[in-house]
Structure 1
Amino acid sequence: MSTILVVGASGTVGSELSRLLASAGHTVRKATSRAPTEPDQVHLNLLTGDGIDAAFKGVDRAFFLAPPGHSRQDLLLNPLVDAAAARGLHKVVLMSAMGANADEAAPLRLAERHLEASGLAYNIIRPNWFMQNFNSFWLHGILSQGQILLPVGQAKGSFIDARDIAAVAAALLVSDRFNGQDFDLTGPEALDHQQVAAVLTQASGKDIGYTDISPEQMREGLLAAGLPADYAEFLLLILGYFKAGYAERRTDAVQLITGQAPRSVAQYAADYKAAWV
């Protein structure tokens, strides 16, 4: 069994990944930006680098992601890759985002390239938009107005359940079968937000719709919620890619790696229905 560092262990993917790895018998070191409250947690500040030595002590495999709210993800991730290489880790799995490799100058792509050149055994996973956004980031509009409020028109997305992302990461971390490969991760179907709203309505019993708002309205809401201006612009940029149709593509990567079909939006909605009532 391995000792595995999970960066972002308190987040949507990281918490489920930590659970899966621990249930399989591995020792999980949960890196968190907050003050540790459990013996398996370690403080790691990606902005300052504080805690890197403690986080990597005795670790032989690691999972990296960049926390939300920061647009220069390479500046946060590259020091982690360097630390892993310096310590000769057996494997690193980096979570990026679908479409990151479309622009070689994009910060996430720079981080991917840094890992590829590190000499480490690695995998890169690029998930599409999370289903869990509907019970977290987009939840306020649903609860306050009964609407998913996004500037994406009628474009479709092959949304993926974060639990499936975690299952893929868990499989890749403990296997060398796919070393050196990158994977775009999607759900089994492509739906537009009106269709998603209908699924959420059926699951929750609450009347939920979708309103296509302007990018200016979205920017105003993001800034009012306290997001940094540069990160708000980053979100508007990738939402623009969604509207242009780049999130519709589907892959079989989840099935290939885990042996299980990815969850549908209907399955997700049934499991999370309490969030919208």
Structure 2
Amino acid sequence: MPTTLVIGATGTVGSALVPDLLARGHTLRRATRQVREPGDVALDLLSGAGLDAALAGVDRVFLMAPPGHTGQDRFLVPVIDAAARHGVGKLVLMTAMGVDADPTSPLSLSEAYLRHSGVPAAIVRPNWFMQNFHTFWMGSIAATGEVQLPVGEAKASFIDARDIAAVAAVLLDRPQDEPEAFDLTGPEALDHATAAALISAATSKTIGFRDITPEAMRGALLQAGLPADYAEFLLVILGFLKQGYAERTTPHVAALLGRPARDFASYARDYAEAWRG
């Protein structure tokens, strides 16, 4: 049974990936900044502290950049180097759909570095998470009853983070290098007003959508405590969403899992209590 290190184990994708891998018989190491329970290993990607200890004896690695930071290659490249030193047999890197449009972007640079590292690899590029609606966008919903974003009527093929985790588990079970980077989407493209209506139907609460200006979004992000450079990064990628770049769908989730990707209505029903609270 492989020993697998999950970096970002307490995050949205990682917390879903851990039980998937346990069900597949993996021995788990959960990388966290603070060790809280057996199976946790201390790892700080920002400083690199604990990196070699976390990777010692590891067969497989799931890697993602720490959220809330730009210049992601600064944190990802040292992990890739360490994985090569320790002879890791498979590394699955999560970036984001669309990063390949700019080969100079930090995530695209990280993908290229991994490809030339000699470590057998797979890359998953998910679209916008469905789970954002009950996490990152929850503040405006709780305060105003609305999802408030500068995206107009643009559609996105939102993906359930549980499906991202399930795909990563499949790829971590395959020892070979994967020549294709997998763009992961949900089964349909929806605008945010439709998504809000589906949440309303699942919760019996009225939740709407309001298109706001980028300036208003910037103010909300800074007020929430996000670093200015990361707030600007979010505004850029929300701008890409508004231009339609997040609308396309791909078949990879269904092909890799042997079942359809979860749709937004199913997600809304599964997490209804989050909005009712």
TM over 0.5: yes
Distance in 2 between residues matched to 1:53 and 1:92, nearest whole Å: 15
Moved over 3 A (4+): none
Describe the superposition over 1:233-276 as per-residue Cα deviations: whole angstroms up to 9, x where unpaired.
00000000000000000000001111111000000000000011
3-state secondary structure, aligned to 1:64:
strand
Question: How many residue pairs are counted as aligned between the two chains?
Answer: 276
Contact 2:130–2:160 (CA under 8 A) maintained in structure 1: yes
Alignment partner, residue 194 of structure 1:
193
Change (3 A) 1:26 1:128: same
Alignment partner, residue 170 of structure 2:
171
Contact 2:121–2:176 (CA under 8 A) maintained in structure 1: no
- TM-score scaled by length of structure 2: 0.98
Task: Report the AA paired with residue 255 of structure 1.
Answer: A
Contact 1:141–1:149 (CA under 8 A) maintained in structure 2: yes
- TM-score scaled by length of structure 1: 0.98
- Kindly report which structure 2 residues correspond to 1:96-245, keeping only aligned pairs within 5 A, or say none: 96-176=95-175, 179-245=178-244
3-state secondary structure, aligned to 1:242:
helix
Distance in 1 between residues matched to 2:239 and 2:66, nearest whole Å: 21
Shift of 1:177: 6.0
Ranges in structure 2 where 5+ consecutive residues have no aligned partner: none
Change (3 A) 1:257 1:177: farther
Alignment partner, residue 31 of structure 2:
31
Distance in 1 between residues matched to 2:70 and 2:177, nearest whole Å: 29
Task: Report the AA paired with residue 222 of structure 1.
Answer: L
Distance in 2 between residues matched to 1:61 and 1:78, nearest whole Å: 16
RMSD between aligned residues: 0.8
Distance in 2 between residues matched to 1:38 and 1:168, nearest whole Å: 26
Contact 1:172–1:178 (CA under 8 A) maintained in structure 2: no
- How much identity, in percent, do the aligned residues show? 57
3-state secondary structure, aligned to 2:271:
helix
Alignment partner, residue 4 of structure 2:
4
Shift of 1:217: 0.4
Shift of 1:88: 1.3
- Kindly report which structure 2 residues correspond to 1:54-133, keeping only aligned pairs within 5 A, or say none: 54-133=53-132
Shift of 1:178: 6.4
Change (3 A) 1:144 1:251: same
